Chains A and B, each alone.
Chain A
Amino acid sequence: MNPLNSLEPFLAPVDRRQAMQWMLAAVSASAALAKLPANAGVSEFKPTLKGYGTDPLLAKNYVPGDFWPLSLSNSQRTSAAIICDILFPADAVSPSASSLHVHDFIDEWISAPYSDQASDRQPILDCIAWFEAESEKRFHAPLSKITEEQRNSICDDVAFGSNANASAKQVKDFSRFKYVAAGGFYTTPEGMKDIGYVGNTPSVTFEGPTLEALKHVGLA
């Protein structure tokens, strides 16, 4: 993969064109929506065929569910919120991911009518199911009833590469969950503050780097 793809979120539009390449490739590679296997609890899931169209109203704020219906079952939604908080627990810097409704964004993502997002649906549902199954297997209780330490011990098995307790697929499923959750978290106001983003605020002049920042890289 071109190295720029991984930088994409922080780069100017010129590099977004790079990201287009893989996106278009993915689009042409699949008509995945029609082939989605029915999943326990969401067997009625029928993806919306239409997206937001080529001329949506741009100067407006949207929330998950505005363009297509969400599709996680209540229990999947609860589990997704817990996994979001394993990834992004509340700490001194920012609140928990679930309090920022990141799990609703995951629902929006996997319910979307576009093939890129649709291809994440099964891996993410499988990830949720795996966490629940491991919780039952290891602690004889659902994810919602076990301790934070117990949850983390499950996560340890998928967060750092495959091992005796988790297959390559389970690790990969988790990384898709994490990709969507992290994108969801860091695009909230609280997440942007957490990461140290202070743009999107008008200022009369562009001040350039602070003295502190210049010193940091040895330029002052």
Chain B
Amino acid sequence: MPIIALNQLQPSYDVIVVGSGAGGGQSAYTLTMNGVKVLMLEAGRNYDPITETAMFQTKGNAPLRGVETPDKPFGFHDATVDGGWTVPGEPYTQASDDPDQEFKWWRPRMLGGRTNHWGRISLRNGPYDFKPYSRDGLGFDWPIDYADVAPYYDKVEMLVGVYGSNEGLENTPNSPEGILLPPPKARVGELLAKKHAAPMGLSVIPIHRAILSVRQDADNIPAKLHPGNQRAQQILAEAMRARAACFWATDCGRGCSIKANYQSTTVHLPPALATGNLDILPNAMAREVTVDQNGKATGVSFVDKTTGKEVSVKGRVVVLAASSAESARILLNSQSARFPKGLSNSSGLVGKYIMDTVGANFGGHIPALENLPVHNEEGAGGHVYIPWWLYKEQVAGKLGFARGYHIEFASGRRMPAMGAGAGTKGYGSKYKEEVRRFYGSSMGFAGRGEMIPNEDSFCELDPNVKDKWGIPVLRFHWKWSEHELRQAAHMQRTFAEIIQAMGGTPGKPSVSGTHAIKKGGEVIHEVGGTIMGAHRNKSVLNQHNQSWDVPNLFVNDGGGFASNADKNPTLTIMALAWRASDFILEEMRKGNL
């Protein structure tokens, strides 16, 4: 079973998975490795990172030197296909004209979705992150705690390959010995920041990224992940041997043709396809989940984009993993006489409590880094980060905002692009010398912080607007609370202090968080909208990503997140999708599904 065309579609499957990114990829992997017949529907085109990734092309090889354009909003060589902040013919709308209440929604239309270009930062949520309400009385607790998810973090880290180190810091879990791959050395600027940030109480430590710093242990990991399942072990071992280690040369946002980083298309889908249990149908835009008279899901109705035809396919179980907002949209569009508000919406909470990560950036010039002796600083993004360090002050109420953030780094002698040399005065040979002096001497810091779910941030169906397939689109409502705005201002103040400590002259940080903070959605950590909880009237999903209302319906993307810790969500999406898929397998064995 392979990538299929519409005329190869079987009439029914064990499980239909909508979406092929982190959640969909992990679900298909876990299910097919255990013998379940899966159909994966992908709204975009098929995509092959082996042949399509621009690995060694320079900016000079791209039109307009690779600069961002409306057609390729993260630049020409970014992996994203047919999408970005807008998708032609597939709009979304804003409830407010106020720019501070705008929500930006990044959507690719390609196999593997956003996993093809993401930053690969893979931090575990800590124990506090699953019980935020218990800690400070805000937001919601998850119906699970760290101990429930930890074994799945272990498995995902072994499967996809994550480099990093165990530092034993507060709410920053260690991985069991032997799981993390060795982290790459820090760059000069990162080491300089480490020296100067230490007296401020900040720990500069290796970041965790889903990138193979060395090759995976294909001889031993498969048996740990699939005990007693010889065939799965064999398939995974082969898949792991087909991945090379990072060669520290190119930009991960382009994707990776040597499979050194995690993307669903290089890590989850090849072994899932090798089982023979997976059909993938690209260009299939899910419209709704179909139900029978008992309210059980029967399958998915979708638009075949190549013909415009509406098609239905049957499944015993439906797993939505279309991205949290898109999955909420599918549920809201699954309306029937029995479910006039949409499917799985007896709580009225589908689309509610959508979250992004709080983001604020700040950069500066560091004179000490001028005229640095020439050496390679490429490969695998920032190599270090600073985890949140003020837990005690925060819980004591001393900061004026309730949740923390971590700090990511952008520095180094990276591939020159548009803007190179533009800020240096003059012309001629003297000017060229000055440009050499300043190259690589700037440091950027990016804060990534926790947002507390609120009543003003949600999505709903726009009553008037449909996409070109005739499917009602989402309308977004968005509002940051004071907690996020103060956090963003704190980020910029901190970054300015670090730059100053490093001998740089920072610009003026924003006093108002409104100026510092990025727009909702802009960090592309879209979660919530179908939150999980312990009570069916206060949540959409139970602890297994399972719909309270429709037992054979699951949401395996970030929709179930009851909070959005500062830790980047993808690793947790994969861990929860694996856990939910194990639950599906168990319930199928028991005859409950």
Q: Please list the residues of chain A having a beta carbon within 8 angstroms of any beta carbon in chain B.
A: 2-4, 6-21, 23-24, 27, 51-62, 64, 66-67, 86-89, 91, 93-94, 105, 108-109, 112, 114, 116-117, 152, 155, 159-160, 175, 178-180, 182-189, 191-192, 194-210, 212-214, 216-219
Knowing A4-B444, A199-B376, A200-B250, say if A59 contacts B53 (CB, 8 Å).
Answer: yes
* Chain A hits for B53, CB < 8 A: 58-59
Residues in B49-102 with C-beta less than 8 Å from chain A: 51-79, 81-85, 88
Check B420–A183 contact: CB distance below 8 A.
yes
Distance (Å) between the CB of B41 and the closest chain A CB? 20
Q: B32-40, B133-141, B363-371, B464-472: which lies at the A interface?
A: B363-371
Judge whether A186 and B249 touch: CB under 8 Å.
Answer: no
Chain A residues closer than 8 Å to B361, beta-carbon distance: 2, 4, 14-15, 18
Given A54-B71, A203-B247, verify A183-B419 contact (CB < 8 Å): yes
On whether A52 and B71 interact (CB within 8 A), knowing A117-B64, A208-B187, the answer reads yes
The reply to whether A159 and B426 contact each other, CB–CB distance below 8 Å, is yes
Name A211's closest neighbour in chain B (CB-CB).
B373
Please name the residue on chain A nearest to B413 by beta carbon.
A197
List A contacts of B58 (CB < 8 A).
187, 189, 192, 200
CB proximity of B181 to chain A, nearest CB, Å: 12
A179 touches B419 (CB 8 A): yes
Bound Cα distance A16, B523 (Å): 11
Q: How far is the CA of A91 from the CA of B435 in the complex (A)?
A: 14
If A17-B518, A58-B57, A114-B70 touch, whether A182 touches B250 (CB-CB below 8 Å) is: no
The answer on a CB contact under 8 Å between B371 and A10 is no
Partner of B68, one of A19, A88, A192: A19
Chain A residue numbers with a CB within 8 Å of B199 are none
Name the B residues within 8 Å of A209 (CB-CB). 185, 187-188, 191, 375, 377
Chain A residues with Cβ under 8 A from B185's Cβ? Answer: 206-209
Q: Per-residue CB proximity of B257-293 to A under 8 Å, as 1/0?
A: 0000000000000000000000000000000000000
> What residues of B have a CB within 8 angstroms of the CB of A160 in the complex?
425-426
Question: In chain B, what residue has the closest Cβ to A68?
Answer: B63
Contacting pair B375 A198 (CB below 8 A): yes
Closest to B59 in A: A187
Q: Is the CB of B440 within 8 A of A10?
A: yes
B381 at the interface (CB under 8 A from A): yes
In the complex, the answer to whether B74 meets A13 with C-beta atoms within 8 Å is yes
- Bound-state CA distance A116–B68 (Å) is 10
A93-B436, A199-B414 are known contacts; what are 15 more A-B pairs with Cβ within 8 Å?
A4-B361, A6-B419, A20-B74, A54-B72, A175-B422, A182-B420, A191-B416, A192-B60, A199-B378, A204-B245, A206-B380, A208-B186, A209-B377, A216-B372, A217-B369
- Could you tell me the distance in whole angstroms from the C-beta of B251 to the nearest C-beta in chain A? 7
Inter-chain CA distance A87–B412, complex, in Å, is 25
Q: Which single member of B51, B85, B253, B368 contacts A13 (CB below 8 Å)?
A: B253
Q: Kindly state the separation between the CA atoms of A214 and B187 in the bound complex, as whole angstroms.
A: 10
User: Residue B311 at the A interface, CB < 8 A?
Assistant: no
Question: CB distance B416 to A197 under 8 Å?
Answer: yes
**Cβ proximity bits B400-434 to A, threshold 8 Å, 1 near / 0 not:** 00000000101111111111111101111101100
Are A199 and B413 interface neighbours, CB within 8 A?
yes
Do B57 and A199 touch across chains, with their CB atoms under 8 A apart? no
A20-B68 in contact (CB<8A): yes
Residues of the B chain whose Cβ atoms lie less than 8 Å from the Cβ of A59: 51-55, 57
* Residue B1, interface by CB 8 Å: no
B507 within 8 A of A: yes
A217 in contact with B249 (CB, 8 Å): no
Q: Is the CB of B60 within 8 A of A189?
A: yes
Complex contacts, A202 vs chain B, CB 8 Å: 247-249
CB-CB under 8 A from B378, the residues of chain A are: 199-200
B337 CB-CB contact with A under 8 Å:
no
Contact A20 B382 (CB under 8 A): no
- Report the Cα distance A114→B213, complex, angstroms: 39
Q: Number of contacting residues on B, CB 8 A?
A: 112
The residues of A that contact B88 with a CB separation of less than 8 Å are 54
Contact B421 A185 (CB under 8 A): yes
Is B316 part of the binding interface, using a Cβ–Cβ cutoff of 8 Å?
no
Q: Are B375 and A200 in contact (CB under 8 A)?
A: no
- In the assembled complex, which residues on chain A have CB atoms less than 8 Å from the CB atom of B251? 12-13
Q: Indicate if the CB atoms of B248 and A8 lie closer than 8 Å.
A: no
Q: Which residue of B lies closest to A184 (CB)?
A: B65
Q: Find A203's partner among B248, B415, B444 (CB 8 Å cutoff).
A: B248
Q: B363 to A192, Cβ gap below 8 A?
A: no
Alpha-carbon gap, A159 to B65, bound state (A): 24
Contacts of B429 in A (CB 8 A): 89, 91
A197 to B368, CA, bound (A): 18
Docked-complex contact A7 and B368, CB < 8 angstroms? no
CB distance from B238 to the nearest CB of A (A): 23
Residue of B nearest to A193 (CB): B374
Q: Taking the complex as formed, is B543 at the interface, i.e. its CB lies under 8 A from any CB of chain A?
A: no
A7 in contact with B60 (CB, 8 Å): no
A199 lies within 8 A of B377 (CB): yes
Given contacts A197-B416, A199-B378, A216-B373, contact A6 B82 (CB under 8 A): no
The answer on a CB contact under 8 Å between B81 and A195 is no
Interface string of B485-526 (1 = CB under 8 A from A): 000000000000000000000110000000000110011100
Bound Cα distance from A49 to B72, whole angstroms: 16
A187 CA / B228 CA spacing, docked (Å): 53
Q: Which residues of A contact B375 (CB under 8 A)?
A: 198, 207, 209-210, 213
Q: Which residues of B contact A3 (CB under 8 A)?
A: 362-364, 506-507
* B439 CB → nearest A CB, Å: 5
CB < 8 Å neighbour of B444 from A11, A179, A191, A194:
A11
B20 CB within 8 Å of chain A: no
Q: Are A192 and B83 in contact (CB under 8 A)?
A: no
B residues 307-360 touching A (CB-CB < 8 Å): 359
A149 to chain B, nearest CB (A): 11
